[in-house]
């Protein structure tokens, strides 16, 4: 199991990025959270199997229906297992 902390940059706010990310993460069985930042980026933490976490991140980058990701910062962190769902933080 792994944990990745990601900052997405681009057209990622006001385009259902958080809701779509939550739906995809839940579909893949990935736990964590996603939230908008004041500077226009979206921040997220993903926990699960490496394959599933990487698939959700790839999907967020390449396949979000209305968003356009122009940059990402990804940091691998120590897996904590603290989440039992994926949620939007407001």
Complete domains list, the chain, with CATH: 2-81 (3.30.70.100)
Tens of pLDDT along 52-77?
Answer: 999 999 999 999 999 999 999 999 99
pLDDT at position 37 is 98
pLDDT at position 27 is 98
Q: Which of the four pLDDT bands, split at 50, 70 and 90, describes residue 29?
A: very high
In this prediction the pTM is 0.96
Active site residue 20: no
Active site residue 36: yes
pLDDT at position 11 is 97
Catalytic pick among 18, 20, 41, 61 = 18
Catalytic pick among 3, 20, 36, 41 = 36
Q: H helices then E strands: how many in the chain?
A: 2, 5
pLDDT at position 3 is 98
E strand or H helix at 42, and its extent?
strand 42-48
């Amino acid at each position: 199991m792994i944990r990745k902390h990601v900052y997405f940059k681009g057209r990622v706010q006001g385009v259902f990025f958080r809701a779509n990310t939550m739906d995809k993460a839940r579909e893949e069985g990935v736990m964590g959270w996603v939230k908008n930042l004041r500077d226009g980026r979206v921040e997220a933490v993903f926990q699960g199997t490496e394959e599933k976490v990487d698939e959700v991140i790839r999907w967020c980058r390449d396949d979000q229906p209305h968003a356009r990701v122009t940059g990402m910062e990804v940091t691998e962190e120590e897996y904590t297992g603290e989440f039992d769902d994926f949620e939007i933080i407001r």
